Amino acid sequence: MQIAIYCPDRHFLYDGATPDRTGVGGGLTVRIRIAAALAARGHRVSVICNCARQAVLGRVLYRPLDTVDRIQADVLVMHSSGGAIDLSPLLSIPIEAQARIFLLSGLDVAKKVHELNPDAIYVCSNFIRTEMLRSGTFTRNLFVTHYGVNRWNWRGLLSPPRDPHRLIYSSHPSKGFDAAREIARRLHAHAHRFRLHYFGGSKLWGAAVPEEVPPSEPCLVYGGLINQQALAAQYKRSAFLLQLQTRREPFGIIVVEAMAAGCLVLASPVGAFPELIQHGENGFLVDGDPSHSETLDRAAELIRDVCQKPALLRQIRRRALATPFNWDTLAQVWESHLHWLMDPKGSQNLQADWARCLECGAVTLSLADGYHCTGCGYFARHARAK
């Protein structure tokens, strides 16, 4: 297939090499990684975005926004995840595409998307799917497709040795840095070996934003923006990722990246986090307002408690390692669904009549990651016969 991915966002200058040079957010990551994975499967993929010049990177053709006055492809993927979150520039570009996909990365829906008549709405979690149905923003053609991790996220898990007292926070500060720091302070007071390593920061969502360096203190080490492979190495050295927050996370790519590296996650049960984390099985969910002392005390006590149970930690870590999908698997999912979308009769072998959706009773599609409802869009990793 010929696949064009279009993103009009101009708040960040990037191309296919950017995640390997510096830190970037989840929306930008998904465009780059899924494009490379689809190209690796033999598809002709182009990304039309805010890049400096036309270039082929990872078998993907990157084209600057201002050089494109027409789009011709089998599939057009439309995505906006930052800045104005506005797809209106597409309305002035002639489009020839057999299928139009709107890729939705959060609760903020891009302006003018309905006028572009998407054939399917790709959302990153059942949480986002439910919110779209509840609000009436999209009521049909929803398809849940998780974010993935690279295969190298799993490599080198035994070297260097993991520090059981090493905590990590790797996001924009608005997502829960204050809570992570408070937990680290409590643990450091209990045992000085506990330290929080902070990566990401205020520049994660835009290079023009001033960097906000937190004040130095014994329990905190600030690392700023680093590339994704370097961040994976930090996860492999760390015992716990702290992600207590009130923001309803659309997916949480940092969660699956940490899991793949064997770093256990403590998160609030908000947004899509409960889809990824089963408390005590592959990570931990901490109830309560992360700004309240009792919530922070319980989180710190949980870490102190499980640190005394190495056998339990090993068991939870094994399950965490098996949770994420790699981008290759998700490219297979996209490929299969796109074939079904464009030719349902020719792709009937994908339909699992015996595994109907427990949400609405419709037939599901059996794809590489699990089962996708053809009616309401609900996704389940395992079949549940009605």
The rounded distance, in Å, linking the Cα atoms of 286 and 174 is 18
321, 340, 368: which is the final residue of a domain?
Answer: 321
Same domain for 78 and 202? no
Nearest to 155 by CA among 24, 30, 321: 321
Same domain for 31 and 98? yes
290, 306, 321: which is the final residue of a domain?
Answer: 321
293, 321, 349: which is the final residue of a domain?
Answer: 321
Same domain for 203 and 330? no
**pLDDT tens digits in sequence order for the chain, 386 residues long:** 999 999 999 988 999 999 999 888 889 999 999 999 999 999 999 999 999 999 999 899 999 999 999 999 999 999 999 889 999 999 999 999 999 999 999 999 999 999 999 999 999 999 999 999 999 999 999 999 999 999 999 988 766 789 999 999 999 999 999 999 999 999 999 999 999 999 998 877 766 677 889 999 999 999 999 999 999 999 999 999 999 999 999 999 999 999 999 999 999 999 999 999 999 999 999 999 999 999 999 999 999 999 999 999 999 999 999 999 999 999 999 999 999 999 999 999 999 988 999 899 999 999 999 999 999 999 999 876 44
Angle ∠(187,192,198) on CA atoms, nearest 5? 65
Determine contact, residues 253/235, Cβ cutoff 8 Å.
no
Same domain for 175 and 275? yes
The residue type found at 158 is: L
Q: Which tokens go with 6? A: 């279009």
The residue type found at 377 is: G
Strand order in the sheet with 351-352: 351-352, 364-367, 370-373, 379-380
Same domain for 49 and 187? no
Residue 200: which domain range?
154-321
Same domain for 171 and 306? yes
Same domain for 163 and 90? no
Same domain for 214 and 361? no
Angle ∠(306,257,123) on CA atoms, nearest 5? 120
CATH, residue 263: 3.40.50.2000
pLDDT for 300 equals: 98
Residues in contact with 274: Cβ distance below 8 Å, sequence separation at least 6, in sequence order: 285
- Maximum distance among all Cα pairs of the chain, rounded to whole angstroms: 64
Same domain for 57 and 131? yes
pLDDT for 385 equals: 45
Please say whether the dihedral angle defined by the alpha carbons of residues 103, 107, 111 and 112, taken in this order, is positive or negative. Answer: positive
pLDDT for 24 equals: 84
Same domain for 208 and 66? no
Task: Please count the structural domains in the chain.
Answer: 2
Determine phi and psi for 62, rounding to 5 degrees: -100, 130
pLDDT for 208 equals: 65
pLDDT for 226 equals: 92
Same domain for 175 and 305? yes
Taking the CB of residue 4, how many other CB atoms lie within 10 A of it? 23
Same domain for 329 and 259? no
Interstrand relation of 142-144 and 120-123 (parallel, antiparallel or unpaired): parallel
